[in-house]
Amino acid sequence: MASNLACLGLGVETEDEFAVLVDRALRQAVPIATAGEERLLRWQDPSGARLLFTMGADGIRRLTPSLSADPGGQLTGVRKANDDVAVADVHQDGDTVTRLSIELEEIPLLGDGTYSGPANVVALGVAASVHEDEAAFGASDESILGDPARKDEPRPENHPDGHPWPPRLAGESFMAYGMFGPAGETTANAWLAGTVLRAERRTTQLTQQEFIVARVRTVGFEADVCLPGAAHFGAPGPGNVIAGEMFLVGSLQLDVRAFTERSRKKRWFSRR
């Protein structure tokens, strides 16, 4: 399984290498907003790879890897589940089609409020595979819902005819399993399969490591899937299917400074 950082061409092997990476990025980071006593700083590489720092009086409180990307989904009711993760409904054509949990760049600004609007969704493919097309994915063990060993089990008597056995996931499917469990334990982990619309290999200037960015279409939204270059040769092509374990990060399309000021006013009025 690859690390979140490796999916953005920022892979490290040791704690010392991680400390050097953070120090180099933090020296180039620029402030983007203030939330109470915390400051948000963003470092961005020419490749689009990002690191978001939440800084407090005691130093770095939060580090979020991300990517500069175009909006891909319409989120409603975006709200904090805990200090690291937000949850939201995904709308398409006015209907809620799925829900997700995601580490947002701007999560310190949410406070106890909510946001609705466009967002970019980045899926860090920590354990993902590339398939030629939906049919190839559907024939693979990766498409089996649950334990792949189920393919050798006989069809249960109560399983309806006309449906495949074992049950399989579609080439465009999504499950935000990190949402399950107590709110304080919500994570941004998900399982995603999507059709590749376009893809390219990029090189992170800071480390000279390669990674892949693939725009994919899945249930209710488009996401930019990032894969470690060392684990995947070439780049996926349109019509390919990428599927596997993902860690979701992203950014809201908002004026962070205006949003910060609005949040301050809400807190001021709430105290009266």
Domain count, the chain: 1
Measured over the CA atoms of residue 104, residue 109, residue 115 and residue 119, the dihedral's sign is negative
Q: Which of 264-272's residues contact partners 24+ apart within 8 Å by CB, and which partners?
A: 266/111, 266/113, 267/111
In a domain, 108, yes or no: yes
Please report how many Cα atoms fall inside a 13 Å half-sphere around the Cα of residue 108, on the Cβ side: 22
Q: Which domain holds residue 136?
A: 6-147+163-270
Compute the distance between CA of residue 224 and CA of residue 123 in angstroms, rounded to an integer: 6
Give pLDDT tens digits along the chain (272 positions): 889 999 999 999 999 999 999 999 999 999 998 888 899 999 999 999 999 999 999 999 999 999 999 999 999 999 999 989 999 999 998 899 999 999 999 888 888 878 899 999 999 999 999 999 999 999 999 998 877 777 777 878 777 777 778 888 999 999 999 998 776 899 999 999 999 999 999 999 999 999 999 999 999 999 999 999 988 888 999 999 999 999 999 999 766 555 555 544 443 222 22
Please report the DSSP string for 134-169 in residue order: HHHHHTSGGGBSS-GGGGGSPPPTTSPTTS-SS-B-
Cis, bond preceding 166 (omega within 30 deg of 0): yes
Q: What amino acid occupies position 218?
A: T
Find out whether 111 and 263 touch, Cβ atoms under 8 Å: yes
| Residue (of 250, 257, 252, 217) closest to 116 by Cα position | 252
| Locus of tokens 């978001």 | 52
Task: Tell me the β-bridge partners of 79.
Answer: 87
In a domain, 152, yes or no: no
